[in-house]
Amino acid sequence: MKHILLVEDDLTYSRIVKTFLEKNGFTVQTAVKVKEAQQLFGNSKFDLIIADFRLPDGTGMELLQWSKSNFPQTQVILITHYSDIRIAIKAMKLGAFEYITKPINPDELLATVNESLSAKTSAPATIADASSIPASPPKKNFHSGYVVGSSAEAEKLEKHIQLVAPTDLSVLVLGDTGTGKEFISRRIHDFSTRKDGPFIAIDCGALPRELAGSELFGHVKGAFTGALDNKTGHFEMANGGTIFLDEIGNLGYEVQIQLLRAIQERTIRKIGGNKEIQIDVRIIAATNDNLLLQAGDGHFREDLYHRLNEFTLSAIPLRNRKEDLEDFAGQFLEESNDRLGKNIKGFSPEVWETFLAYDWPGNLRELRNIIKRAVLLSSGSHVEKESLPADLYEPSSSIGSTQSTHGSFSRTNELPSPKDYKSQWVEQEKELIQKVLMDTKFNKSKTARILNMDRKTLYSKMEKYGLD
């Protein structure tokens, strides 16, 4: 019998989900805080963690990262609101099996739990694994899982990819979370003269700051506590090929210096070593940060930025390429049918109307997840509107409640709408950030520590709220 740890601070909601899972043959223990969940691992072994993102003493993301470091064989499913969709997608990059949104559909929850428990567990991948856009067999408009699209923006992007691919220029890929920056980078590699060499993808946001240098450049035995053997770094592994550095803005300043040296001199030195190792690597970096803003604030080296930015490509948000929706939806439908053993033929006109009206904050990853969920819930030949999350077509629908409505676990229909909550939250968050900035005399590092957020998040929110 599989053992599940449910981490949810709403006790009524937790009881409903626990009872449902136990009725379906699982053993379930519950916790309400991150620390409580971590302590339970001292006495029990869990096959799966289901954690709400917002917890009293932290977040489900923190629990995810802790479990992947200490118990990599334990799968993690994150529960989020739709307002947290970008966070949920980031969690999947850090190793979460899946995310599900409130109100939870029981069929979706059960299918996701069963799928996670039957899947082979692994740590977050360092070699490209199609997490942003899943691969499918080659067909019209498809190449190694990449959909070119038919919009003018897509054709322009493809033209630029084909232009830069045969060169050895360093490329900086800009774009929002979920827009397929890794797949753009892999496509550059596939059309380059290095296509027969390795393609190594690194999520710099997932690298522990104190180990980032070791992961990228390697270390020698005894270089630091825990260095029990020599380690080959990702740059050495990528020799003769391409290295893709996602979320490059998350690298610490010391590692940035090492990276700049590697680019300039085409040599690396392992941590604790004194031998120069020649490397022949093309670098493609990606970010959704404003690196020039970070450079101006002293958190990202401007000389490194210019070294990485010999050619810039911009991944297109899905809201700006609605003409390509049919191409992407067709690919994700085919993949979902194969994965779930279904044979859904297509989408109803109402579904297409909903897709075209929605702004897709989570971009391609969100579209993929919604189509997989809809295929799971569909019983006819086509995906109908009822199989979509209500948040796509009813922005004022209540989120995450305790009573069961329309086959979902929900709290109440008398709550203010998420839109009202969101506007209140935005105003309160803006006022709080502004107050702390003033109290610290605009010391951004100190402000970030007080607010318990990283500097990158603080800069993003300051820009969003016009607090620069």
219 neighbors 230 (Cβ within 8 angstroms) = yes
What residues contact residue 442 under an 8 Å CB cut-off, 6+ apart? none
For 115, other C-beta atoms within 10 Å of its C-beta total 17
pLDDT value for 10? 87
Q: Where are the domains of the chain?
A: 3-118, 152-318, 418-465
Supply 445's token pair.
């590092």
> Could you read off the pLDDT of 5-40 as tens digits, one per residue?
999 998 888 888 999 999 999 999 999 999 999 999
Q: Measured between alpha carbons, how far is 440 from 462 in angstroms, rounded to an integer? A: 15
pLDDT value for 397? 45
> Could you read off the pLDDT of 280-333 as tens digits, one per residue?
999 999 998 888 888 777 789 999 999 999 999 999 999 888 889 998 999 899
For 138, other C-beta atoms within 10 Å of its C-beta total 10
Domains 152-318 and 418-465 share a fold: no
Query: Which amino acid type is present at position 231?
Result: K
pLDDT value for 408? 61
Supply 297's token pair.
């604030």
pLDDT value for 451? 77
For 288, other C-beta atoms within 10 Å of its C-beta total 19
Supply 461's token pair.
């929110």
Supply 286's token pair.
């990606």
Q: Report whether the peptide linkage leading into residue 103 is cis, meaning its omega lies within 30 degrees of zero.
A: yes
pLDDT value for 259? 94
Q: Measured between alpha carbons, how far is 407 from 336 in angstroms, rounded to an integer? A: 22
For 195, other C-beta atoms within 10 Å of its C-beta total 13
Q: Measured between alpha carbons, how far is 124 from 138 in angstroms, rounded to an integer? A: 26
191 neighbors 161 (Cβ within 8 angstroms) = yes
pLDDT value for 425? 62
What CATH class does 418-465 carry? mainly alpha
In 341-460, which ranges are E strands? 346-347, 382-383, 403-405, 408-410
What residues contact residue 225 under an 8 Å CB cut-off, 6+ apart? none
Supply 398's token pair.
């209540």
What residues contact residue 108 under an 8 Å CB cut-off, 6+ apart? 100, 373, 376, 377
Please report, in tens digits, the pLDDT of each residue of the chain (468 residues total).
Answer: 899 999 999 888 888 899 999 999 999 999 999 999 999 998 888 999 999 988 998 888 889 988 888 888 899 999 887 656 667 777 777 778 888 887 787 888 888 898 888 875 444 433 333 333 333 333 333 334 577 888 888 899 999 999 999 999 999 999 988 888 998 999 999 999 999 999 999 988 777 778 888 889 998 888 777 777 888 999 999 999 999 999 898 898 889 999 999 999 999 999 888 899 999 999 999 998 888 888 777 789 999 999 999 999 999 999 888 889 998 999 899 988 988 888 999 999 999 999 999 989 888 888 988 998 899 888 899 999 988 887 787 754 433 444 443 456 654 444 444 445 455 666 777 888 888 888 777 788 778 777 777 777 777 788 777 786
Q: Domain 152-318: give its CATH code.
A: 3.40.50.300
Of the candidate CATH numbers 2.40.50.100, 3.40.50.2300, 3.90.870.10, 3.90.950.20, the domain formed by 3-118 belongs to: 3.40.50.2300
- Tokens 């820009």 belong to 463
Instruction: Tell me whether residue 226 is exposed, middle or buried, using C-beta atoms within 10 angstroms of its C-beta: 0 to 12, 13 to 18, 19 or more.
Output: exposed
pLDDT value for 365? 84
